[in-house]
Amino acid sequence: MSDALVANLLSPAVLFFALGLVAALVRSELKFPEALYSALTIYLLVAIGFKGGVALAEAGLGRVWLPALAAIGLGAFIPLWTYPVLRWGGRMAAVDAAAIAAHYGSVSAVTFLAATNYLAAIGRPYESHAVALLAVMESPAILVGVVLGKRAGGGPPVPLGLVVREALFGRSIFLLLGALVVGALCGPDGMEKVGPFFVTPFQGVLALFLLEMGLVAGRRLEDLRRVGPFLLAFGIVAPALNGALGVAVGTAAGLSAGGAMLLGVLAASASYIAAPAAVRLALPEANPTLSLTAALAITFPFNLTVGIPLCDAFARLLQP
């Protein structure tokens, strides 16, 4: 376990993330152009979606529906337990508790990518079609969180159609699902054609993207003072518990150790793109600094460094 932890900390992905954090902390002038951030995002989502689609074509839908159902259930369940903890344990306003619960039930694609990277580095096989789990797990928690927040507080009326559209068809999920379908239609033949572009450079692109994520997270570190000790602790304890839950559910749904670890990482991760957009729309009274700081400045670095190896160790432990 400690070897795997050290190996993860010394991987290019994590070290570049740390470099980004340092750059933000020393207020370096390093800055990624917005267009590069968008381009890297598109590349990563298309690459992972396409690869997953090809794997899906090979595995067949029959092997995916149960884990996918488990992922949807997990996504919907996480806000149900985190909301009361935040509301009454953390004495937070109802909308803030609901907003944070939505962020933590939804998923972070980058964390998932880093986890697949980790598995590839240690040579553990996993179901490549697990990316379908990433796709289906993004929205349920957002919808549950929004309903929780709406039940608790009045606020201005919400264009519910817009929220559903935002939760289901945000930019990232559209691209991911689109690439998944393209990959499934192309199959292995298509992979042969685009593999050199989408597979070989993937780890390098991810490292570059994580450098930018380090900058993004680092710039929000000073907001940590504003979120209070409860949310700080929540940002570490909640992903650890959710990760364990995800691994257990994944194992029960018949996933391999690698696949169960990925479902664990998905459960542990907190959304910082899709959830903020939908929550801003549906629960405008919620303070976005709380959820975004917790997701980006606490939980994301925790998962990247410690959470991923922890989920992996637990997944191996549970494997029959």
Partner 1 sequence: MNLHPMKLVTIVCEAYAADAVLRLLAEVGTAGHTSFPVEGSGARGRRLADIPEYANTQFEVITRPEVAALLLERLGAELFPRYAMVAYESDVRVLRPGKF
Lookup result for tokens 């405008």 = 284
Q: Indicate the residue among 130 and 173 with the shorter CB distance to partner 1.
A: 173
Angle at the Cα of 209 from the Cα atoms of 229 and 247, rounded to 5 degrees:
60
273 binds partner 1 (CB under 8 A): yes
Q: Which long-range contacts (CB under 8 A, 24 or more apart) does 78-82 make?
A: 78/104, 78/105, 78/141, 78/242, 78/267, 79/104, 79/105, 79/141, 79/144, 79/145, 79/148, 80/144, 80/148, 82/234, 82/238
28 binds partner 1 (CB under 8 A): no
Positive/negative CA dihedral, 122, 125, 128, 133: negative
316 binds partner 1 (CB under 8 A): no
- As a whole number of angstroms, the distance between CA 159 and CA 168 comes to 15
- Binding segment (CB under 8 A) for partner 1, from list 31-39, 60-68, 122-130, 144-152: 31-39
- The residue from 276, 301, 307, 309 that contacts partner 1 (CB under 8 A) is 276
At closest approach, how far in Å is the CB of 53 from partner 1?
25
- Binding segment (CB under 8 A) for partner 1, from list 30-38, 128-136, 179-187, 245-253: 30-38
87 binds partner 1 (CB under 8 A): no
204 binds partner 1 (CB under 8 A): no
Cβ atoms of residues 44 and 203 within 8 Å: no
At closest approach, how far in Å is the CB of 35 from partner 1?
9
Instruction: Kindly list the residues in this chain that would bind partner 1 in the complex (CB under 8 A).
Output: 31-32, 34, 37-38, 156, 215-216, 219-220, 273, 276-277, 280-281, 284, 289
